[in-house]
Amino acid sequence: MLQKDRQAGFDFALYIDERRARLEASLEQFLPVAEPVKLYEAMRYSVLSGGKRLRAVLAMASAEAVQPEESLKGEDPVELVLPLCCAIEMVHAMSLIHDDLPCLDNDDLRRGKPTNHKVYGEAMALLAGDGLLMMAGEVLLSRTNKKIKPQALLDVALELCHATGPSGMVGGQVLDMEFTGAAGSGAVDEAIVNAIHKSKTGALIRFSLWSGGRLLGASRRQLESLSRLGEILGLAFQITDDLLDITGSAESLGKTPGKDQASNKATWISVFGESGARKKLKDMEAEGIQLIKESSLDNPLSPTLTSLLQYSINREK
């Protein structure tokens, strides 16, 4: 069957809108205003400020794509992974708050609004990030449906720590800092850019795809496919981000463009140029589509993983 026929009748915009709406409702439910009010306001300001919600939708899509284990058959996979999706978006939001602080990227604009520290001050922004990080763990562990096997939940919680900590996002941010200013000096090559992208951005994206499948009890083979697809998608997402930094506007992106070049950041573009980055994206798209086809994650009625890969590459913000 041709790709265009397979997509017929599948409305990706509707698919993603519906899942975003469910995520927003759950975030509201899991993070109501409480005492101390200022802290909760600052946490809610960032986590409820929109964003594409790509990571959460990836976790939902993988939960929907896999064969659930026997005891979960007949359950709504999206409902089962909602606490996981909220945890992922809380971790993501906290990383954006901290990334924007004056001691790191020092940014004024995020998701088209003043950054958290511009509204609440640096100390409160730091603490709002800390609060969201721990809240993510609390929501995942306390709100996940008891029908999910404890071992699956434990594996997911452990992997979230791994993807977020020193061998994931935090480590990637440190690598990024160490090589900022070095682009063009000959010190930055493909291996370095890959290492930065894989940990800083890729680890949480890979986790998002893998964890939806893991909670549902997917087979080892399906989890391996999700993990590899997550790596491809994570790298493709970050290369697209690097390209948008040179082609996008503050209005379309909701954040300040042009910062990578201004600070000589180690990006795919700094090593291979714009055309090299675009070629790499085409190769990755083809590899991802092939992988989805060859795995048992290919659902002709709802080609969401392929659509999400293409969305990550062709997005304008």
Rounded to a whole number of angstroms, the minimum distance from the CB of residue 101 to ligand GRG is 8
Q: 242-248: which pairs have CB atoms within 8 A and are 24 or more residues apart?
A: 242/267, 242/268, 242/269, 242/277, 243/269, 243/274, 243/277, 243/278, 243/281, 244/315, 244/316, 244/317, 246/274, 248/316, 248/317
Count of residues near ligand GRG by CB under 6 A = 18
**Residue 52 in the binding site for ligand GRG (CB under 6 A):** yes
Please, are residues 38 and 124 in contact by the beta-carbon 8 Å criterion?
Answer: yes
Measured distance CA(50)–CA(67) in Å, rounded = 31
Binding to ligand GRG in span 181-240, by CB under 6 A:
200-201
Strands 113-114 and 109-110: antiparallel
Rounded to a whole number of angstroms, the minimum distance from the CB of residue 137 to ligand GRG is 11
SS3 157: helix
Part in contact with ligand GRG (CB under 6 A); list of ranges 14-22, 75-83, 169-177, 185-193? 169-177
Contact with ligand GRG (CB under 6 A) among 64, 99, 242, 285: 99
Rounded to a whole number of angstroms, the minimum distance from the CB of residue 247 to ligand GRG is 14
Longest dimension (CA), the chain: 57
Angle, CA 194 vertex, CA 84 and CA 256 arms, to 5°:
70
**Residue 51 in the binding site for ligand GRG (CB under 6 A):** yes
Which residue spans within the chain are E strands per DSSP?
109-110, 113-114
Rounded to a whole number of angstroms, the minimum distance from the CB of residue 128 to ligand GRG is 12
**Residue 242 in the binding site for ligand GRG (CB under 6 A):** no
Contact with ligand GRG (CB under 6 A) among 39, 48, 141, 170: 170
Contact with ligand GRG (CB under 6 A) among 21, 25, 104, 250: 104
Contact with ligand GRG (CB under 6 A) among 133, 139, 183, 216: 133
**Can you say whether the dihedral through the CA atoms of 199, 201, 204, 205 is positive or negative?**
negative
DSSP state of 181: T
Part in contact with ligand GRG (CB under 6 A); list of ranges 47-55, 148-156, 228-236, 297-305? 47-55
Nearer to ligand GRG, 199 or 222 (CB): 199
Single-letter amino acid code for the residue at 8: A
Rounded to a whole number of angstroms, the minimum distance from the CB of residue 96 to ligand GRG is 5
Nearer to ligand GRG, 170 or 246 (CB): 170
Gyration radius of the chain's alpha carbons: 19
Residues forming the site for ligand GRG (CB under 6 A): 51-52, 54, 92, 95-96, 98-99, 104, 111, 133, 164, 169-170, 173, 200-201, 241
